[in-house]
Amino acid sequence: MGIIETLIITTALAGVGGTGLGGIIGAILQKDSRKVVSLLLSFAGGVMLSVVCFDLVTEAIESNTGIWVVVGAIALGVAVTYLLNYLIDRKTNPEVPHVDENHPKTADDLDELIHSDHLEQHYARKDSKLGLFVAGIVMASAIALHNVPEGMTIGASYASDGGVMGSAALALAVLIGLHNIPEGMAVSVPLISGGMNKWKAVLITAATGIPTIVGALLGYVLGEIGPLGLAMSLGFASGAMLYVVFGEILPQSFLMYNSKLPAFSAIVGILVGLLIIFL
């Protein structure tokens, strides 16, 4: 099997497989899953923090391109992801009645995380097919903001191992697969709650993992350029994931479950990520 084929299959298992499994779990739990999803999301956030802090950033630094290159790439990843997320929110929030000046400045429910609440408004207004299509594209873009950087980490790690699916890249694939399970639930639960057929929702959820493959190919191409490309790819993906974790996943998990338990769940996620990386 060739280098690219191996990368695509591995990333598909982590991205499409992880979100698809989360979609199935979400279809089973459905509406009574807020606390469960909150704990799983915070656990996933902890896992991704382990990936960023104990693997990606250290690998970027070891590329010997200079610490400022790494810091700049991380800052760029944060800035670009924030800007794209801001533009999506600016487009969708005014169309959702309950998102007003009294609403938290971040998502506090599953449908807000993926902007399915925006799509539901278009369905409720019986908009044209074009309007529904645009709302669907917006939702897909919001999901891609999470999945593309995740794929970049696998691709860049794969490139740093010389095109061999070594233990580091495999560990990343496993961690991202675990991380994608609660994200898959975050996609399927609001779709099903909005009246969509369970299996259709599961298939759509699994399809949302496809941007992970695109990110993996991008990360691999950048990583193959040389040490600078590798550092930029790893740093950018790290920054994007740091924003997603601290700006979206953890705040939402605490708002969904007003308890100390999401904090402990995040800590467990960090420890599990640490064990998988170094065992």
What's the pLDDT at 32?
54
Residues 6+ apart with CB under 8 A from 130: none
What's the pLDDT at 64?
85
Note down pLDDT in tens along the chain; length 279 residues.
677 888 888 899 988 999 899 889 888 876 556 788 788 889 988 988 998 998 889 988 988 888 999 999 999 999 999 998 888 888 888 888 777 777 887 877 767 777 777 777 777 777 777 777 777 777 778 777 878 888 888 888 787 766 666 666 777 788 788 878 877 887 787 777 767 788 888 888 888 889 999 999 998 888 888 889 889 988 998 999 899 899 988 998 898 888 899 999 999 999 998 888 887
What's the pLDDT at 236?
92
Prediction pTM value: 0.84
